[in-house]
Amino acid sequence: MRIAWKPLGWGLFAVWVFILIVSLVAVRYAWNDLLQQNGVETLEWQGLDLSFSGATLRDLTLTQSLPAREVELHGRSVSLDWRWPKFGQGWLPQLTALKAEHLELNWQTKPEEQSTAEPRQPAPWPPELPAWLPSEVAVQQFEVTVPCETGSCPLAGSFSITSSLPTAGGTSPSLAAANSRFPIKANVQLDHEGHQVGVLATLDGAWDADLNFSSELTIDGTRYLTAESSYSNTNAQGVVSWQGSVSVPDLPQTDWLLAWLQAWQSTPTEHWPEQPEAGSVAASWSLQGPVSRKFLAQVSGNVKIQARLPQPWPAPGWERSAVTWRWR
C-alpha cells in the first residue's frame, strides 16, 4: 500500500509545484501590468528587512512618466509599519506608519494637450482618505522640486501628518470612517537660507456636524500668526455657520521671506513700498449660508479686518496708520 501511494504523492506534489509556479507568474504579470498602467518606469529597492510588524528599505528609487508629469523619487531608510487585525476583523493588516529618513522628489509637469475630454467632476464631499493610508506619515528631511508660476521651485524641510486609524460603522460607513480619522494634525518645517518657517495645524470634529480648525505660523522659532475656524452643520433649516479669526500681533521683519515668495509667483513686487518696521493685523468673521456649493454666493453675516501701523504705509489702501474694515 505504501508503494502504491508513492506515485500519487509525487503526482500531487508536482501539481502543487505547477500551481505555485503559475501563481507566481500571474502575480508578476499583474504587478508589471499595474506599474505600466500607472506609468512607473523604474521601481528599485535595496536592503529589504521584513518582519511580522513591518518592512524597512535602505534605499528606494521610483521614476514615473505620464502624459501630464514626470516624477523622480529617491528615499533613504524608508519604513512601513502595520498591525494585524484581531480575530473576526478580517485578515488584511492595517498600515500604521510610513516614515523616511531622507526623501528627494523631482516633479516636472508637461504641457497639456488639447482634448475634448469631459470636464472633471467636483470632488466628493466630505473628502475621503484612503482606508489603507497609514495613521502617521513622516519625513525627517526632504528636498523637493515642484512646479510653480516661475517654472520649478525647490523646497526643503521636514513634515509629519498624524490621524486616528479608520473604523467603519453606523448608517453611513464611509462617513463614519472619515469621521474616525479625526483629529488630523500636520507639522511642516521649511528651511530656506538659514531661516525656518513652521506650520502647525489641527483639524478635529466631524464632517456632518461641527468641524474645528486651528493653526499657527512660526518664523525662526517665534510665533507670528494664529488662526482658528469653526464650521457648524447642525442647523435643522439647512443653514450652516462659519466663524473664525486670524491674528498677527506683530509683523515680522522678513524681507527674505517676501523675496522667497516672489520666486513662487510671477506678480511683480518692485513697486511695492518697503515693509513697515512694526504693526499688527487682525481679522474675524461670522457667516451663515445654505448647505451647498453656492455658500459664498448666498452668504450673510459680518467680517471685520483691523490693522495698526506705527506710521502711514505708502501702499494702496494703507495711507493711514490704523485701518478698520467691516462688512455686513
Q: Is residue 16 part of a domain?
A: yes
Q: Is residue 43 part of a domain?
A: no
How high is the pLDDT of residue 170?
42
Q: What is the dihedral of CA 289, 292, 293, 295, to 10 degrees?
A: 0
Q: Is residue 111 part of a domain?
A: no
Under DSSP, the state recorded for 112 is: P
Q: Is residue 29 part of a domain?
A: yes
Q: Is residue 326 part of a domain?
A: no
Cβ pair 121, 82 in contact under 8 A: no
* Cα–Cα distance measured from residue 46 to residue 95, given in angstroms and rounded to the nearest whole number: 21
Q: Is residue 123 part of a domain?
A: no
* Cα–Cα distance measured from residue 72 to residue 106, given in angstroms and rounded to the nearest whole number: 5
Average pLDDT, the chain: 79
What grid cell was written down for 110?
Answer: 508637461
Q: Percentage of the chain with pLDDT > 90?
A: 30
Q: Is the confidence at residue 320, as pLDDT, over 60?
A: no
Among candidates 130, 124, 255, 144, which has minimal Cα distance to 191?
Answer: 144
Q: Is residue 103 part of a domain?
A: no
Range of the domain at 23: 1-37
The per-residue pLDDT for range 106-125, each reduced to its tens digit, is: 998 877 654 444 566 666 66
Q: Domain tally for the chain?
A: 1
Collapsing DSSP to helix, strand or coil, 6 comes out as helix
Beta strands at 94-109 and 136-148: parallel, antiparallel or unpaired:
parallel
The per-residue pLDDT for range 153-164, each reduced to its tens digit, is: 899 999 999 998
The per-residue pLDDT for range 50-104, each reduced to its tens digit, is: 888 889 999 999 898 888 888 999 999 999 998 888 777 677 788 899 999 999 9
Q: Is the confidence at residue 272, as pLDDT, over 90?
A: no
